[in-house]
Amino acid sequence: MLGDSTVGKSSLLKRYTEDLFLESINQTVGVDFYVHFLEVEPGVRVKLQFWDTAGQERFRSVTRSYYRNSVGALLVFDITNQASFNHIKEWHDEVCERVQPHKVLFVLLGIPYMEVSAKTGQYVREAFELLTRRVYQGLLSGEVELQEGWDGVKCATPQAPHLQRASLIQHSTAPKKKCCS
C-alpha cells in the first residue's frame, strides 16, 4: 500500500481484511501488517501479506525497507487531493529503485482506473483481488520469477511444483526484464 498520508491506505486494508470502516482512524506510524487469504482459482489459495506504509516523509527511511520483497503494490491517491495524485509517480519510482533486480506489479486506485471507497466498501474487494490475480498471472507467465532466497512469493504444495516449472521454463527462454518495464 503506497501513497501520501491520509489518502485512505489503512482504511482500505481494514475494509478488505476485516470488512470494517472506522470514521476515525489513527495515522500509521511506520508500518502496519495485515494478512488475508484468497482463492485465485479452484484449489489455488494465496496468502496475501500487506504492509501498510506510513505516507509521511519522516517515516520514509523505515517504510523503504519493506519494499524489498514486494511483488505487488496498490498505489493509492485521494481524488479530492491533486497533490496526492501528483506524487504517485514518485511512489512508483521509489519502489522500482529499491526492488531491483525483482519486479513489482502495480495497480493504481483512483480515477480513471479504479475508484474505491473504504467507507462504503465500493470496489475494495475487487481492487485487492485484481492485484492478487495480476501477481498470480505474472507468476504463471514468467513475468514474475520465483527465486531462491527471495521472499516476495512463496509457494506451498501442491501448487509449488507447477509454478516452479513454469518459472524455470520462462527463466531459461525469456530475456531479462527490469523492474517496472
Backbone φ and ψ of 40, nearest 5°: -85, -25
Band (87; pLDDT cuts 50, 70, 90): very high
Higher pLDDT, 55 or 107: 107
Q: What is the pLDDT of residue 136?
A: 87
Q: What is the pLDDT of residue 83?
A: 94
Mean pLDDT of 81-90: 92
Q: What is the pLDDT of residue 102?
A: 79
The whole-angstrom separation of Cα 67 and Cα 8 is 19
Q: Which of 69-83, 122-136, 162-176 has the lowest mean pLDDT?
A: 162-176
Mean pLDDT of 127-151: 81
Mean pLDDT of 152-161: 56
- Average model confidence (pLDDT) for the chain? 76
Q: Where are the domains of the chain?
A: 9-173
The percent helix, strand, coil of the chain (3-state, each to 5) is 40, 20, 45
Class of domain 9-173: alpha beta
> Residue 56 in contact with residue 27, Cβ under 8 Å?
yes
Band (30; pLDDT cuts 50, 70, 90): low
> Residue 15 in contact with residue 21, Cβ under 8 Å?
yes
- Residues 6 or more apart whose Cβ sits within 8 Å of residue 33: 49, 50, 51, 52
Amino acid 57 reads: E
Q: Tell me: the pLDDT tens digits for 48-84? A: 888 777 656 655 566 667 777 788 888 989 888 999 9
